[in-house]
Amino acid sequence: MDIDLSGRRALVSGSSQGIGLAIATELARAGASVTVNGRDDAKTEAACTTVTDEVPDARVSPVAADLASAAGAERLREAVGELDILVNNLGIFGAKPVLDIEDDEWRRYFEVNVLSAVRLIRMYLPGMMARGFGRVMNIASDSAVVTPVEMVHYGTTKTALLAVTRGFAKAAAGTGVTVNSVMAGPTHTPGVEDFVRDLVGADLPWDEAQRRFMREHRPYSLIQRLIEPTEIGNMVVYLSSERASATTGGAVRVDGGYIDSILP
């Protein structure tokens, strides 16, 4: 399928590394003008260089702003004009026994994983609706429906994103704007490598550590491996296109078959 996003303006939050960087790269490859976002100026600019190394004719620009705060979101709004494509990828995760998670940590997870998305949707959805085109994607997780015992706070915020998605999709009904969640499964990123090693042992060779992690902690994966970030990016590119015009309010799975259900 040949997807051309030329002329479209995209923002990917939390895209200085990992899944977000892969999404930004694939959007740029499809022709979109992409804003890369992170908290650190140097890392965000380095991410833009990574994109242009992969896609030499990419139109990509950096905006460093902490979107977990209203002030950071306003800073981004001042730097970025109207958008056609908004990808809310920013998120944090970590393993912790649920009885040890205190109020402040719960609040932090909701600020970063949920409210950052809500703020940006409120900023950019009205303009999309007025123009009759827009694509909003919230990067959720298999953890939204299969709550991991080692990080209940993370799973809970991803469950909330599914409701946020459905609600804003209803608000945009009939306008030509679609709002979807992308439910990513266990994905191979540097942060996940650290997470895997924390769970199964730091001294194991990576291939063995990955197999043990999937076997012991994600046994229902049908591909029996970690997903590569580009595979998430491919789904985002499709949902960003005219070809996905009838897909909205949904939770689209790129989970390697991990969720043991015929519905999300």
Helix/strand/coil percent split, the chain, to 5: 50, 15, 35
Start-to-end C-alpha separation, the chain: 25
From residue 18, alpha-carbon distances to 2, 10, 41, 89 in Å are 25, 17, 17, 10
Chain-centroid distance of CA 54 in Å reads: 20
- Report d(CA 58, CA 212) in Å as an integer: 38
- Report d(CA 74, CA 86) in Å as an integer: 15
Catalytic residue status for 220: no
The single residue of 154, 220, 238, 258 carrying the catalytic annotation is: 154
Active-site amino acid positions: 154
